[in-house]
Chain A
Amino acid sequence: MAQTLSDSELVARCRSGDQQAWAELVDRFSRYVYAISVQAFRLPEADAEDVFQEVFARAYEHLDKLRDDAAVRPWLAQLTRRLCIDRLRAASRERPTADEELDLAGSEETLTMLEEALTVHEALAGTPEHCREILDRFFARDESYRTIGEALDLPAGTIASRISRCLGRLRELLEGRTEADTPSGSR
């Protein structure tokens, strides 16, 4: 699957029954859905897993109801938020102390930050493969210089400078984007 496929193209392919496109869609948004449930709503892992599967099951089932294919990202975010809130409400009925958690859950600040993080993650896809790999391993997967060096066959001493160079490329890419280049409309 070409990495340049826009969200709307991907949704259209999913709707036509393309299983590879569906796998790509899940992969593209899996981190976002996961992060909303565990970071913004602080769901326990087991609840987060249920929400994760439910989000994609409902998305698969109702993809034909999506009015604007390019809006799949906010649609999934909204679906995830709703299911997380349902979980917390159910928990608060069983355990009254969870009321406070419900009030604090899903802070707008965290949700906004995650949305921005997804934009950066999407921009990362436009950087060379070696940059994607090293930045993802170091920051998102929290791997050590040693682990990265062994995996990518690089001297550990060169990793910090590579990371810095790759962050520079990513920054150029992000700052070069125009308003029209919103992540959901064009990738």
Chain B
Amino acid sequence: MTAFNEERLARLIRALPPAPAAWVRAAAELPLAKAGLDEIVARAEADADFKARLVADLEAALEAEGYERDPAVIEVLKVRFKSK
């Protein structure tokens, strides 16, 4: 790395503006989302009635069971259960 001067340092600091806060938050919450996803999938595999309700109307079934509405989890579950 070559010598730094104020102008160069300024240019390099400027080159990394923060990513949108919502993106960072969503990525940071991945472990929580994944834990929620794993729990729902495991329950659906063990409970045929719950699985049928997920397939029929995923969001309504999740809401009825008190799961938080996480768009990332819902998208994955829709694909997994080919739900509406």
Interface residue A94 (Cβ < 8 Å from any Cβ of B): no
Interface on chain A toward B: helix, strand, loop, or mixed SS? helix
On whether the beta carbons of B28 and A26 are closer than 8 Å, the reply is: yes
Interface residue B18 (Cβ < 8 Å from any Cβ of A): yes
Chain B residues, Cβ within 8 Å of A124: 13
Interface residue A136 (Cβ < 8 Å from any Cβ of B): yes
Chain B residues, Cβ within 8 Å of A84: none
Chain B residues, Cβ within 8 Å of A140: 13-14, 16-18
A:133-156 near B, CB below 8 Å: 135-136, 139-142
Interface size class of A (residues with CB under 8 A): 35 or more
Minimum CB–CB distance from A114 to chain B (whole Å) comes to 6
> Interface size (B, Cβ < 8 Å)?
26
Q: Roughly how many angstroms separate A135 CA and B26 CA in the complex, as a whole number?
A: 26
Ranked 9 nearest A-B pairs via Cβ: A34-B19, A56-B27, A139-B13, A117-B15, A23-B28, A31-B16, A117-B12, A120-B12, A30-B19
List 20 additional A-B contacts (Cβ < 8 Å) besides A117-B16, A171-B5.
A19-B31, A22-B28, A22-B31, A26-B24, A26-B28, A26-B30, A30-B19, A31-B17, A49-B23, A60-B30, A116-B1, A117-B13, A120-B9, A136-B13, A139-B10, A140-B18, A142-B17, A164-B6, A167-B6, A171-B6
Chain B interfacial positions (CB closer than 8 Å to A): 1, 3-6, 9-10, 12-20, 23-24, 26-28, 30-32, 34, 72
